Amino acid sequence: MRPLHSRASLCATLLLAASHLGFSLEVPQVYKNTNLLRTIDAAKGYVKETIAVIIENTSDKPQTEYYLPFSVPGSSAVSYVECKDKKEGTPCKAEPVDDATDYPLKYYRITLPATLKPKAQVTLTISAGITGALEPIPAVIGQSDKQFLSYTGDRYAPSAYLTEKQKTKFRAANGEIPDYTDFGEKDVDKSGYIITYGPYDNIKPWSSESKAEKFTVRFEFTLPVIYMEKLERDVEVSHWGNNLAVEERYWMTNNGAKLKDQFSRLAWATTSYYNPPTAAIKSLLFPLRGGSKDAYYTDEVGNVSTSKFRSDSREAILDIKPRYPIFGGWNYSFIVGWNNDLPDFLRKGKGDGYILKVPLLQGPSQSTTYGSVEVKIILPEGATDVTYSAPFPVDKEERLLHKTFMDTLGRTTIKLTINNVVDDLKNRDIIVTYKYSTSAALRKPLVVLASVFGVYLVSALLTRIDLSIGK
């Protein structure tokens, strides 16, 4: 009796633990995936996963929410998830499910664009950016060696539902693929730089008991793996100057294969004549909006002279070359900035209202991932009723006052922090609306006028006071 009892309690404890660890998320089995095509694109320094799936409501009730897990083992993390109805093109909402400790899966709850009736089907296209999933192997290479990245993923696309038919396509950056997993079942096909796994039929929903089968692809990556540990971006609106000033401060690391031994200038100088592909960051190209002007490129020790800036009304390009080539594991930090005419970004709304539309994230044209991005939108002093709508979810929002150039109160500022960003999200506009009255605009000139006048008055009075003791 006794041992049995204890066994039962042990089971209960285990179950309790399991429910905490494994099965915190209970996904109702109301769909099946009729057909699923997963494309894993590793052409950039991070992974872009696109899932095209036909789902069918197998329950007898209309459904609106669909769950989709992404596999994020190790240090990898989901940067963003976007979803749309493939036929209609209508976007649908995708949000992370909190505290899904179903490691290594990260669940997303997708709200379907329209309620799905029983037995009805809809085709969704879900794309996600996943950072940290590519690992350089070998981790250390010589200065002029080739760099290889390796991706390890699930053989079967993880899904919360039964998948009738599925296929996975892996798109490497390059046709040079020395290793890839072959399961020996004639399910692998390599053509050019694409490796296809599948098709597979009737794959059961993912569960922690079933042993996950993994495939690994190792491919050549001729570009540096650019990672911005931190980006601080200031967008400053000046009504008086009719100017929109942008300054971006970057802390950059090359996350590719680390440099073996030490850097040899000799080898670098002799090879750079014929410009071979290299895993070092040699230059960065910032495509800017047309009409950008006064661009600058500096770092902590001053101006860097190796930059080119070309601008006309259609487009502008800031081409910068870091002080030294940045090899794997090396760091660099720099500041770029430029000005734009304000009317290109600002529209007058009703009354004192203004509507500002600026890109939330710009950045180099090379594929880039960001650890954290802090965007400060600095509105004029005295701007009130600030609202914004961001093009993608923001992790943290702060309101503060930024005091500069003869401000008395400080400028109204919103600071948005976004973690783990990939450059797919760049050049999307944030819309900020605010109210800015004429009296607020006149504040600064009046204050300056008054204080200068005050100084004159005081000095005029002081000169008239006779402090001498005797005559």
Partner 1 sequence: MAPVKPSFFKDPASTQNVRAILRVVILLTIAAASISSRLFSVIRFESIIHEFDPWFNFRASKYLVKNGFFDFWNWFDDRTWYPLGRVTGGTLYPGLMVTSGAIWHMLRMISLPVDIRNICVLLAPGFSGLTAFATYLFTKEMKDSSAGLLAAAFMGIAPGYISRSVAGSYDNEAIAIFLLMFTFYLWIKAAKLGSALWGGLCALFYFYMVSAWGGYVFITNLIPLHVFVLILMGRYSGRIYVAYSSWYALGTLASMQIPFVGFLPIRTSEHMAALGIFGLIQLVAFVDYLRGQVPSKQFNTLLRALVILIAIVAFSGLVLLTVTGVIAPWSGRFYSLWDTGYAKIHIPIIASVSEHQPTAWPSFFFDLNFLIWLFPAGVYLCFRQLRDEHVFVVVYSVMASYFSGVMVRLMLTLTPIVCVAAAITVSSILDTYLEIDSPEEPDPDAEHKKPKKEKVKEVGGSPGGFLSSKAPYIGIYSITSKIAVVAAFSVYLVLFVLHCTWVTSNAYSSPSVVLASRMPDGSQHIIDDFREAYYWLRKNTPYDAKVMSWWDYGYQIGGMADRTTLVDNNTWNNTHIATVGKAMASGEAVSYEILRKHEVDYVLVIFGGLLGYSGDDINKFLWMVRIAEGVWPDEVQERKFFTARGEYKVDGDATDTMKNSLMYKMSYYNYQSLFPPGQAQDRVRGAKLPAEGPVLHTLDEAFTSENWIVRIYKVKDLDAFGRDHFSVTAFEGGKKKAKKGGLGGRAAGKRGRRVLRV
Pick from 103, 405, 453, 456 the residue near partner 1 by CB under 8 A.
405
Geometric angle at alpha carbon 218, from 132 and 262, rounded to 5°: 75
**Is the Cβ–Cβ distance between 334 and 299 less than 8 Å?**
yes
Closest separation between CB of residue 373 and partner 1, Å?
Answer: 20
| Rg from Cα positions in the chain | 29
28 Cβ neighbours under 8 A, 6+ residues apart: 59
Site for partner 1 in 286-305 (CB under 8 A): 299-305
Closest separation between CB of residue 51 and partner 1, Å?
Answer: 39
Closest separation between CB of residue 276 and partner 1, Å?
Answer: 18
Is 191 a binding residue for partner 1 by CB under 8 A? The answer is no
84: its two tokens = 């749309």
Is 392 a binding residue for partner 1 by CB under 8 A? The answer is no
Pick from 1, 266, 462, 465 the residue near partner 1 by CB under 8 A.
266
72: its two tokens = 């994020």
133: its two tokens = 């999933």
Cβ closest to partner 1, residue 1 vs residue 467: 467
Is 331 a binding residue for partner 1 by CB under 8 A? The answer is yes
Nearest CA-CA partner of 287 in 366, 345, 224: 366
Q: What is the dihedral of CA 11, 17, 22, 28, to 10 degrees?
A: 70
Closest separation between CB of residue 365 and partner 1, Å?
Answer: 23
Applying CB under 8 A, which part among 125-133, 140-148, 338-346, 399-407 lies near partner 1? 399-407
Applying CB under 8 A, which part among 86-94, 150-158, 262-270, 416-424 lies near partner 1? 262-270
Q: CA-CA distance, 77 to 47, in Å (whole number)? A: 10
Closest separation between CB of residue 28 and partner 1, Å?
Answer: 52
Closest separation between CB of residue 296 and partner 1, Å?
Answer: 10
Is 408 a binding residue for partner 1 by CB under 8 A? The answer is yes
452: its two tokens = 């200068």
96 upstream amide cis, omega within 30 of 0 = no
Is 262 a binding residue for partner 1 by CB under 8 A? The answer is yes
Is 4 a binding residue for partner 1 by CB under 8 A? The answer is no
Closest separation between CB of residue 30 and partner 1, Å?
Answer: 53
Task: Encode burial over 13-32: b for 16+ CB neighbours within 10 A, e otherwise.
Answer: eeeeeeeeeeeebebeebbb
Nearest CA-CA partner of 373 in 322, 314, 426, 331: 426
Pick from 39, 144, 245, 324 the residue near partner 1 by CB under 8 A.
324
Beta strands in 14-88 (DSSP E): 31-41, 47-57, 63-71, 77-85
Q: Give the contact letters, 45-64, x = binds to partner 1 (CB under 8 A), - = no.
A: --------------------
Is 263 a binding residue for partner 1 by CB under 8 A? The answer is yes
**Is the Cβ–Cβ distance between 136 and 257 less than 8 Å?**
yes
Q: In this structure, what are the phi and psi dihedrals at residue 303, rounded to the nearest 5 degrees? A: -70, 145
Is 407 a binding residue for partner 1 by CB under 8 A? The answer is yes
Pick from 207, 404, 437, 439 the residue near partner 1 by CB under 8 A.
404
Is 403 a binding residue for partner 1 by CB under 8 A? The answer is yes
Tracing tokens 């930090």 back to the chain, one arrives at 333
199 upstream amide cis, omega within 30 of 0 = yes
Q: Give the contact letters, 424-453, x = binds to partner 1 (CB under 8 A), - = no.
A: ---------------------------x--
**Is the Cβ–Cβ distance between 52 and 86 less than 8 Å?**
yes
Neighbours of 206 (CB within 10 A): 21
Cβ closest to partner 1, residue 264 vs residue 427: 264
Closest separation between CB of residue 452 and partner 1, Å?
Answer: 11
Is 417 a binding residue for partner 1 by CB under 8 A? The answer is no
Closest separation between CB of residue 158 and partner 1, Å?
Answer: 39
Cβ closest to partner 1, residue 116 vs residue 252: 252
Beta-bridged to residue 399, according to DSSP, are 414
Intra-chain end-to-end CA distance of the chain, in Å? 117
Closest separation between CB of residue 298 and partner 1, Å?
Answer: 8
Footprint on this chain of partner 1 (rule: CB under 8 A): 261-266, 269, 299-306, 323-324, 330-333, 403-408, 451
